[in-house]
Structure 1
Amino acid sequence: MVSTGVVGLGVGVISGYLLVQLIKRFWIPDYLQAVSFLAVTLLAFGVSNVMFHESGLLTVTVLGIYLVNQKQVAIHHVREFKEHLGVFLISCLFIVLGSNFNLESIQVVGVNGVWFLLAMIFVVRPISVFAATIKTGLSMKEKVFLSFLAPRGIVAAAVASVFSLELANINVDQNLRSQIVPLTFVLIVGTVTVYGLFSAPLARLLKLADENPQGILFAGAGAWVRDIAEALMNLDQQVLLVDSSYANWRETRMRGIPVECASVLSEHILEETDLSGIGRLVAATPSNEVNALAVQEYTSVFESKNVFQMAPWDINAGKRTSVSEHSLGRLVASEDLPYVRIRNGYRQGAEVKTTLITDEYTIEDFYEKYGVDNAAVLFVLDSNGRLHINSAHEPHDVKTGDTVIAIVGLPVPDDHISKPSTSH
């Protein structure tokens, strides 16, 4: 055991250090980094097993821990590769496991196998969770949820056959040994099925998860963004504003709007801020570049369909000066609604209006009152309580019973072309 630990720890740390140095010195091209990580991992696993039997698993575990906790090089693209590879390999593993599983295996364990499975799910797992979370500050709901979230799979399948062989070496009864592998596979299939089907409904029942989070993260907290956020809060919608300007942070906080004084691209927001209930991003800073970077960063957090930004002020300025189209998120409301147009409109008296659309007051009446060129609908809360961000390329069809949040009193589109200040 000691030898396994020494070999696994040593080879894992050395492999991790070498990888970091290779990346840090730019000796591996970016497009080969993910493959290089995989190759070094397999090599470390093999070398470790040659040095001492069964130490390879510990080696690659230590290697992963080392890479995740080092701060010298970025490995985001490697993590993405790992996630894709993990989905593929785990899917293949369960196909292989299923192909080796037959009805005779179930008959070997009989009814006792079912009782064993139920005991593991409803007795052993809850006891272990409650014992391990004493004085952790977790709520009862969180402990209950953790008690029903532990499917058995890769490790159990990997060690079952090994244990069976080891028991044979110490002359354990054949009938007992013959039940280990079938019991393990019953446990794998049972836990994966039960937890896979019921974990998500249980989380929603305990109010620990939102099936479709409607909250909005705003990058930027300018005057008009604060008004929009307040209007959304008045409709019981969750918002969070992020701005690196202390003045904007102070004004936002004084109005009772949730806000963080930080860069939207900072590690604090991405990894430490509680984004539960937040499911969409609206990049609304004065900087086209910051908005584009925020879109790129949060696409992996919220998915591309839920990442929006205000139109760039120079969207038609040409390839030399405008942000490339593939770097943009979904545009809010219109291509003719950049931050600078709203800013200039606010200086001239533009304001946010929340309007209920009825049979007596239709969306056509709304535009007739405020002007098609002078009003922009940004958000629509439908009669079912679902919040929609009005997209420039897929505008929401406003119906009777919907509530629209719009900015009215805007200057006509041709009057706003001027480069904005990048302070926010």
Structure 2
Amino acid sequence: MFPLELFEIMLIGVLGIGSQWIAWRYRLPAIVVMSITGLLVGPIFGIINPEEGFGDLYSPIISVAVAIILFEGSLNLNFKELRDISKPIFRISTLGAFIAWILGSLTAHYIAGLSWAVSFVIGGLFIVTGPTVIMPLLRQAKLNPRPAKILKWEGIIVDPFGALLAVFAFKVIEFLTGVIPDITHLLLFFAASVFAVVLGWAFGRGLGWMFEEGHVPEFLKSPVVVVVVIFCFTIADIVMHETGLLSVTAMGITLANMGISSISDMRHFKENITVLLTSTIFIMLTASLERETLLQIFSPNIIGYVVLMMIVVRPLSIFLSTIGTGLSLNEKTLVGWIAPRGIVALTVSSYFATILLNAGYQDAEILTALTFALVIFTVVAHGFSIGWLAKKLGLSSQGHPGALLIGSNKFTVELSKSLMKADIPVIIVDSNWESLSLARKEGVSFYYGDMLSEQTEHILDTIPYDYILTITDDSAYNSLVCTTFVPEYGRTNVFKISPYTEYGNGYSSGVVSKVGGRILFDKKFNLDDLLEKLDDGYVFRQTTLTEQFSYEQYVAEKDDSTVFLYLIKPSGQLKFYSEEMRTVPSTGDKIISLTPPTKEKEKIQAKIESIRDINQN
């Protein structure tokens, strides 16, 4: 008999990663696509029900996945980022969270019709946003650094606090209603929370020390991290439910700020794991919903609650908590609107629904429907609006996707000038001040520093730039930069100038194709060749393809020494030439090439003759 559990695991994985690919391909919010996919295969068509299929393992799988996702997010929380945003981050995470809790609880009572006890529990839980929903939106919208950092830090820090606040509210309710006779349980709750933080810090310090002292080999570092995260989460959660999230967050922040040399490798590995976990967990959660839950979502009290949470509670909590923090009105507006709820809200609310029902609060039956309504409405609304709103408020990169050029020389400066003429953001990065003199003279944007240094990572705003082009005279450095940024930018967006000293010799093609990014333009032309062409009078020329002048005709007429550089599609999409480029230019495309001076002279002469003919007629 065919094992149905195996089929469910396979289908969940395929649907999760397939949803991510569709979202990438058509530039849609990934969490929206995943949620819709889960609903289709779950409650709508009834193909799978992971909660029934996995049985008792369902909740532990979700909990461990959330712990790993939250830990991976906290690895990005370096305190050096807080130079100019520490005040708003602190205010939003404390005062803002408290205001959101109170206002959210009042809304749940008066609008959703919940009892005071259930309202304060769910009000505490719904202050969370979380990395599973915030990170994909930040990658999609290309926000300016300050609002992006605020949303990232808030999402990761407040995530465990939301769950703890819900636990705290429930403990207070038990004390006030006499279920707990004394205040001992409340004190134990605070002690367990402190223990979770200390435990996470201790595991983080211990793991960091072992890595730095060489007690863990390179090939075991990432597996060891995953196992330790699960161990840390489990120990804290056994002591007090929901403190495990706090523990793994503390562990991640500790590791992120220890300056461990191999932390970037672990981060890349865990980013890949997180994408897989996020995809599968969203499919599992949405596919496990009941049809009755979906129908409940459209009841007036739930819709009214969700709308007020989005347009009143969230903006008000942000505006009140950030008074005097230096945030502009536009930044407050954006941060006040963006607050999508995700996996933590869904998983923890189902836990409290059971606890509250067992305690006699029958109105807790609608918690699952209420939570999913808030999740799906915020995910869809914020997912589709963040890019548009950020551009309207001037808080995201505008125009075409940009290019970041590593290495300052005559060719990169001329290439930058041609990109600037096409209204494409461009910047040159070099650690040699003298080499940057030409860029400064020609008015090209530049950054003085090493692209691989930690200081550059925290100072240089790389959001406007979709492509990295390494064009220095050091082939090893070019490959190193490409290898470093391939996980972040993708292999198709990272290029290096040809390392060949002459065509067919030098580096072996097998090594070149595997180390670093793709070879830029053509392997026949290294940096010396391009600089030599510029010295010989070669010019940057733009050619627009038309129905009368096709790409085939253009290739046939071009000089053999012409170097194809890049093309711009009518949509504004930028594509750099390389031997691995599969795009065939079509009508409307603009091709920029490095052309021999004879071609340019012929073009000028043709224009002169054309003008002469017109004057004669």
Same fold? TM cut 0.5: yes
Deviates more, 1:6-15 or 1:24-33: 24-33
Aligned partner of 1:117 among 282, 288, 306: 306
Aligned pairs for 1:85-124 within 5 A:
85-105=273-293, 110-124=299-313
Deviates more, 1:228-237 or 1:377-386: 377-386
- 1:63 aligned residue: 251
- 1:227 aligned residue: 414
CA offset at residue 279 of structure 1?
1.1
* 2:563 is the counterpart of 1:376: yes
- Give the 3-state SS of the residue equivalent to 2:514 in structure 1: helix
2:399 touches 2:423 (CA, 8 Å); kept in 1?
no
* 2:320 is the counterpart of 1:131: yes
Q: Aligned equivalents of 1:202 and 1:384: distance in 2?
A: 21
Change (3 A) 1:13 1:328: closer
- Listed one character per residue, the Cα deviations across residues 235-285 of structure 1 (whole Å, up to 9, x for unaligned) are 322210011221121221122110011122223333421123211122111
CA offset at residue 30 of structure 1?
1.7
Change (3 A) 1:322 1:82: closer
Aligned partner of 2:213 among 2, 22, 25: 25
- Give the 3-state SS of the residue equivalent to 1:292 in structure 2: helix
The amino acid of 2:453's aligned partner reads: S
CA offset at residue 396 of structure 1?
6.3
The amino acid of 1:55's aligned partner reads: T
Aligned partner of 2:438 among 238, 251, 275: 251
- 1:238 aligned residue: 425
2:481 touches 2:516 (CA, 8 Å); kept in 1?
no
- Give the 3-state SS of the residue equivalent to 1:391 in structure 2: coil
* 2:574 is the counterpart of 1:392: no
Q: Aligned equivalents of 1:208 and 1:93: distance in 2?
A: 31
Q: Which has the higher contact order (CA 8 A, sep 6+)?
A: 2
TM superposition score normalised by structure 1: 0.83
The amino acid of 1:134's aligned partner reads: I
- 1:351 aligned residue: 538
Q: Aligned equivalents of 2:397 and 2:303: distance in 1?
A: 32
Q: Aligned equivalents of 1:31 and 1:81: distance in 2?
A: 12
Q: Aligned equivalents of 1:382 and 1:100: distance in 2?
A: 43
The amino acid of 2:208's aligned partner reads: V
Q: Aligned equivalents of 1:248 and 1:28: distance in 2?
A: 41
Aligned partner of 1:145 among 310, 313, 334: 334
Change (3 A) 1:243 1:345: same
1:217 touches 1:240 (CA, 8 Å); kept in 2?
yes
Larger relative helix fraction: 2
- 1:183 aligned residue: 370
Aligned pairs for 1:298-317 within 5 A:
298-314=485-501, 316-317=504-505
- 1:174 aligned residue: 361
Q: Aligned equivalents of 1:324 and 1:400: distance in 2?
A: 33
CA offset at residue 56 of structure 1?
2.3
Q: Aligned equivalents of 1:361 and 1:191: distance in 2?
A: 49
Change (3 A) 1:291 1:164: same
- 2:383 aligned residue: 196
The amino acid of 2:304's aligned partner reads: W
Q: Aligned equivalents of 2:378 and 2:558: distance in 1?
A: 59
CA offset at residue 36 of structure 1?
0.7
Number of aligned positions between the proteins? 406
What is the aligned-residue RMSD (CA, Å)? 3.3
Q: Aligned equivalents of 1:72 and 1:395: distance in 2?
A: 39
The amino acid of 1:259's aligned partner reads: F
- Give the 3-state SS of the residue equivalent to 1:282 in structure 2: strand
- 2:448 aligned residue: 261
Q: Aligned equivalents of 1:12 and 1:258: distance in 2?
A: 43
Q: Aligned equivalents of 1:355 and 1:54: distance in 2?
A: 60
CA offset at residue 206 of structure 1?
4.6
The amino acid of 1:407's aligned partner reads: L
Aligned partner of 2:479 among 288, 292, 295: 292
- 2:272 aligned residue: 84
The amino acid of 2:200's aligned partner reads: G
- Give the 3-state SS of the residue equivalent to 1:327 in structure 2: coil
- 2:260 aligned residue: 72
5+ long unaligned stretches in structure 1: 411-424
2:221 touches 2:266 (CA, 8 Å); kept in 1?
yes
- Give the 3-state SS of the residue equivalent to 2:420 in structure 1: helix
CA offset at residue 220 of structure 1?
0.9
Q: Aligned equivalents of 2:240 and 2:190: distance in 1?
A: 11
- Listed one character per residue, the Cα deviations across residues 315-355 of structure 1 (whole Å, up to 9, x for unaligned) are 633567995321142223221110111233344x2333334
- Give the 3-state SS of the residue equivalent to 1:248 in structure 2: coil
Q: Aligned equivalents of 1:114 and 1:229: distance in 2?
A: 51
- 2:14 aligned residue: none
Q: Aligned equivalents of 2:527 and 2:263: distance in 1?
A: 34
Deviates more, 1:133-142 or 1:68-77: 133-142
Q: Aligned equivalents of 1:382 and 1:235: distance in 2?
A: 11
Change (3 A) 1:11 1:306: same
1:20 touches 1:73 (CA, 8 Å); kept in 2?
no
- Listed one character per residue, the Cα deviations across residues 138-173 of structure 1 (whole Å, up to 9, x for unaligned) are 44443333233222223223432454466568x6x6
TM superposition score normalised by structure 2: 0.59
1:357 touches 1:399 (CA, 8 Å); kept in 2?
no
Aligned partner of 2:514 among 317, 323, 326: 326
- Give the 3-state SS of the residue equivalent to 2:277 in structure 1: helix
- Listed one character per residue, the Cα deviations across residues 193-247 of structure 1 (whole Å, up to 9, x for unaligned) are 3333443444455554469842111111101211121122123222100112211
Deviates more, 1:200-209 or 1:147-156: 200-209
Q: Aligned equivalents of 1:305 and 1:361: distance in 2?
A: 29
The amino acid of 1:145's aligned partner reads: L
- Give the 3-state SS of the residue equivalent to 1:354 in structure 2: strand
2:471 touches 2:527 (CA, 8 Å); kept in 1?
yes
Change (3 A) 1:352 1:282: farther
Q: Aligned equivalents of 1:321 and 1:194: distance in 2?
A: 48
- Report % sequence identity: 26
1:4 touches 1:54 (CA, 8 Å); kept in 2?
no
Q: Aligned equivalents of 1:363 and 1:321: distance in 2?
A: 29
1:232 touches 1:238 (CA, 8 Å); kept in 2?
yes
- 1:38 aligned residue: 226
